[in-house]
Chains A and B, each alone.
Chain A
């Protein structure tokens, strides 16, 4: 009988061996697949077992947690709702986070190696501390003012964006996209609520989920004249150089007119005067005279065509993806210069497209003496006991213009605000400069109104801003943008309420 008994033992060994192999298959080979399956809630439970780090700016909590008392212990909440949504993004229960919630997920969730000391002390104290906290560079007052002014604009515009950055550091002071969305339902633990909210936003024709400040490009109109001016100043022109102008300019198939008859009807105008009055004919002729390559190269120097910029964390390079601004090729089919296109492109029309962030970066470059700083949103990372583990070290991104060119542009742009089209941006007691833009788009649509500018307080550049309003009715599309820009810049110095 012993033979069969031994063989029975072998049978059991084989059966157990099969279980052994299958367990390896499940727990080693397939483990990741099972762990991340949407129907597996365990990872979420572990994730929500300790509070996610807080995102804050200027001492104001922007993303925090409330205890639920349920299986998922903490609910992510966004007390400021749509005001900060384009920056913060949101952290959904399933699926990937967006915005800073995504870019700084490692710190917020506590998974980052930088929080190793926290995890180590957790092991000894038995507490499970929260993830690390993120301090944003945003200035709450500027952000609130920007949001309020944009959404309550005097023209009833429903779409637009505003960005303010500190010219000397690149720190983003305000970033508003309109319309925005309330991230709270998207972070709901009830997947039905979350997906219903998402579908509604995603199907909304006004695209509230689109971050118009960084992810959308539009024709910048006369704002582009700043770049043409920079190209001119670096090619032998100075502020007082007389350039040809006139009421009408025809080049190829394009006819260039000024916005109003009283703007530069004479045959000659100084460069400074041309920018101050936003002389279209003068800039078209100037652009054609300088040539396609000088215009395109200068735009590139300022950051056009940059496809890899992200605004968020200077250290990790993660952040909100910035769409590339474009000049277009300005070429005929055979590659030769399309002068009609060049004449129109010099006015920021035709195929020129720009993000509001790029607009603010152009103004900031001028205000910072020619050096463009890399924009960022993450000022500090704090561990769970609020010890600093990282502070942003501003980095130069590029140097588009020399300091003398910058000084010239500064003088010209200040003239725009004191004597020209940008008067609405004035702040009493401050030195404010800028450039307006009114961009025609479709044949019958209202034009987009732009303003890019900067402000000096007590001789120090405090803010550079870009305001963009889409399809502004009632003419003088840029005037409202200039007014809002002035208020935002004032608020960055914690002045002015509304």
Chain B
């Protein structure tokens, strides 16, 4: 027993960090009210307490189902999620004031809906943690997940624009005007799981059978099949969903899992060449042929010179949103105007794609960098779990998911800041919307599960009845005995 006790679960650290995160959210809300109402209402802390209660629920679930999980992941994500809800509430308050309405209720408007989405996301995460006690179980459903992923990914592309297009990006499924989902958010998790399984089974052949050209090992032609298939899918997504970011996301996650699985940098080189070659060809086609490529060409043109009056004022796909976002960031400067003191509503879609620009005006460069570091922390903790976990499948899933999350943050923030052409991605955990929130919390649940497996002592006996099952560790579905390279 004493041997086991030396392994720390660090659950109390998680609880402490969570409480600290919620204090920050409450302070944010208080500042918003001070700036918007010129006074702080007595119940300013209620939204922070409500969402804190939800996170506390998940924390308790983690205590029972994944006691050795990484203690930083949950509080870091909770802080971003909480700031997101508080910022959405700030936008609701400003709108209510502009319309001479009383203070919106805690469950009303966008922030109320976001609170409900958070509840559903956390329930989903808790269910995932409870049902999937060992991440290797997922490998049993790998092909099903792969099929689901590809279907989800392709649905918006094949649906008519009426049912799938928002602001020029065809990445939605719209159910009337009531609500819409972004299937791509879920597809990425399914695809990572599938890729991980596929690659674990094929990694030997992919990494060993090769031809040497110019000192770099290149795979055999027939092994290129799956890579080319995914690349083709990505380009199709780029053309038909009119969204570079989504294409970059899918392709990036595939190439990285491939690279991690095979340890062959040639895959990275091939992948990058294929992707950027494809993008450049699409750009050229857009300028010459137009048609389905025109939208992409326009976006690139706007990205290259957003401040040009002609780009700012153009009929469709103008740089207005990007430029207003940059103005917001610039106006915020180093320290920001303070929560509630800026004019984020000047930026179109500030609740969704551009929430980072809206926040940036009010929390300034220092606030945004703090957020950026939080995201980095989550990604690096995910990669840390991948490094520490002992099975290849777990490594690939955790690494793939963490990298995908980081890539998504880069794609949207890069778009908002004008680093890369703007695409219609959500900002994980911040943006209003259920699909993104639920999918990303599922992602976090997976990382929690894998980090639990990574940090759990190898021969640990669960301390409580409700702990992990006592049977032997599950074997990867259909796999022979694994040989893991050190």
Residues in A lying within 8 Å of B, measured CB to CB: 1-6, 8-9, 11-13, 15-16, 18-20, 22-24, 26-28, 30-35, 37, 39-43, 45-46, 71, 126-128
Contact = CB atoms under 8 A, between A and B. Distances in A.
A18 to B, nearest CB: 6
28 contacts: A1-B395, A5-B260, A8-B260, A8-B403, A9-B383, A12-B406, A15-B410, A19-B410, A22-B418, A23-B372, A24-B365, A27-B364, A31-B330, A31-B331, A31-B334, A34-B327, A34-B330, A35-B327, A35-B330, A39-B312, A39-B327, A41-B343, A42-B342, A42-B343, A45-B343, A46-B337, A46-B343, A126-B39
B417 A26 contact: yes
Interface residues of B, number: 55
A1 B485 contact: yes
A9 B334 CA distance: 28
B346 A16 contact: no
A12 B361 contact: no
Interface in B427-486: 485
A16 B375 contact: yes
A100 B292 CA distance: 58
Contacts of B419: 18-19, 22
B380 A12 contact: yes
B333 A71 contact: no
B73 interface: no
Given A12-B406, A15-B407, A26 B263 contact: no
B413 interface: yes
B246 interface: no
Given A28-B334, A37-B327, A126-B38, 8 more contacts: A5-B395, A8-B256, A9-B379, A15-B406, A16-B406, A19-B372, A19-B413, A31-B330
Contact of A16 (B39, B333, B334, B376): B376
Given A20-B369, A34-B331, A1 B396 contact: yes
Given A5-B260, A23-B369, A27-B332, A12 B379 contact: yes
Contacts of B330: 26-27, 30-35, 40
Contacts of B343: 41-42, 45-46
Contacts of B375: 16
A16 B372 contact: yes
Contacts of A5: 260, 383, 386-387, 395, 399
Contacts of B65: none
Contacts of B386: 5
Interface string B282-313: 00000000000000000000000001000010
Contact of A34 (B259, B329, B368, B379): B329
A16 B329 contact: no
B219 to A, nearest CB: 15
B361 A42 contact: yes
A4 B263 contact: yes
Contact of A28 (B327, B365, B407): B365
B360 interface: yes
A3 B360 CA distance: 35
B259 A8 contact: yes
Given A2-B387, A19-B419, A71-B98, A126 B413 contact: no
A414 to B, nearest CB: 61
Contact of B399 (A8, A33, A39): A8
A20 B372 contact: yes
A18 B415 CA distance: 12
A15 B248 CA distance: 13
Interface string B368-391: 110010011001100100110000
Overall SS of chain B's interface:
helix
A15 B380 CA distance: 13
Contacts of B39: 126
Interface string B239-275: 0000000000000000010011101000000000000
B261, B323, B331, B365 — which one has the most chain A CB atoms within 10 A of its CB? B331
A39 B323 contact: yes
Contacts of A37: 307, 327
Contacts of A8: 256, 259-260, 383, 399, 403
Nearest to B200: A1
Contacts of A4: 259-260, 263
A26 B333 CA distance: 8
B328 interface: yes
Nearest to B383: A9
Contact of B346 (A11, A34, A42): A42
Interface centre among B260, B342, B392 (most CB of A within 10 A): B260
A484 B379 CA distance: 82
Nearest to B39: A126
Contact of A35 (B333, B360, B406, B410): B333
6 tightest A-B CB contacts, nearest first: A34-B330, A27-B365, A40-B327, A12-B406, A126-B38, A15-B410
Nearest to B335: A27
Most buried by A among B259, B332, B387, B417: B417
Contacts of A15: 406-407, 410, 414
Contacts of A27: 329-330, 332-334, 360, 364-365, 368
B169 interface: no
B76 interface: no
A176 B419 CA distance: 56
A47 B263 CA distance: 58
B128 interface: no
Name the residue among A13, A15, A24, A41 with the largest chain B CB count within 10 angstroms.
A15
B34 interface: yes
Contacts of B395: 1-2, 5
Contacts of B380: 9, 12
Contacts of B331: 31, 34-35, 40, 42-43
A25 to B, nearest CB: 8
A126 B31 CA distance: 11
Interface string B157-169: 0000000000000
A6 B361 CA distance: 34
A18 B414 CA distance: 8
B263 A23 contact: no
A15 B485 CA distance: 29
B85 interface: no
B69 interface: no
B326 interface: yes
A16 B409 CA distance: 9
